[in-house]
Homo-oligomer: A and B are copies of this chain.
């Protein structure tokens, strides 16, 4: 049976899935991390292995196309390195930026915006042949409404309370306790000594407290939702999709947290009453199938 492979190469694991030409999931496989920034050689070996796993069972000759979703592929020479490394693979191979892979997965190749908010955030979209993006400038310059941003806003509130000599709120105390920080200076040290995702993880304190009704925590999540709405509004205007925008969301902050998502959606709807929203749990590997289908349809 002929099939398509979609690969989602992430920071912790590489997921690959084979889809029939009608879009039916045939087989999935998972190997180690596929982010080339971690360790290019190992990541490439993991990506290759995921393909070999599927070839072995379904036959390499039956595979019509391999679509890889890879983070950071637009910067650096990742594209070349991957192509070189996968040269022995017979099927046609296409590399997409991981964000566009998610866009294909959620919007099936249709026009629309995709708002991603996990550790960082970015908005991408296309409309009538125009592709563009907003944000995604990383933790130093942006990542509005991301997990990192939510954690940072809480940390700044702690520092502000300290600078003013005020007592900490319940949420602020919870953060210090949770992270085992006996002083604000230890908290600051942690931020500088840790990876972005470790800092973003501190936002879980906000999520937990918000679910218990803590007002400060709810407010922080609402602000994240408003920031993300602002980002997507910018993109909608930029690509001229304001009449009836289609907006998909992905990433843990928007998919798992209802306060962020509801605030986000309400705000976007207040500007674009005809807005249509897509929020579903779907594997990014499916973006590979959608990409293939779109190519075939357009031929």
A141, B238: Cα distance in complex, Å = 31
* Residue A140 at the chain B interface, CB threshold 8 Å: yes
- Contact check, A238 vs B188: say whether CB atoms are below 8 A apart: no
Q: How far is the CB of A105 from chain B (nearest CB, A)?
A: 24
Which residues does chain B contribute within 8 Å of A140, judged by CB atoms?
139-140, 152, 191-192
A156, B231: Cα distance in complex, Å = 14
- Enumerate 20 A-B pairs (CB-CB under 8 Å) in ascending A order: A75-B185, A132-B165, A134-B163, A135-B163, A137-B159, A138-B188, A138-B192, A139-B140, A140-B152, A140-B191, A141-B156, A141-B188, A141-B191, A142-B156, A142-B159, A163-B234, A163-B238, A164-B238, A165-B237, A165-B238
* Residue A177 at the chain B interface, CB threshold 8 Å: no
* Residue A116 at the chain B interface, CB threshold 8 Å: no
0/1 interface trace, chain A 214-247, chain B, CB 8 Å (1 if under): 0000000000000000010011011000000000
Q: Which one, B75, B141, B237, contacts A159 given CB within 8 A?
A: B141
Which residues does chain B contribute within 8 Å of A137, judged by CB atoms?
159, 188
* Residue A299 at the chain B interface, CB threshold 8 Å: no
* Residue A155 at the chain B interface, CB threshold 8 Å: yes
* Residue A189 at the chain B interface, CB threshold 8 Å: yes
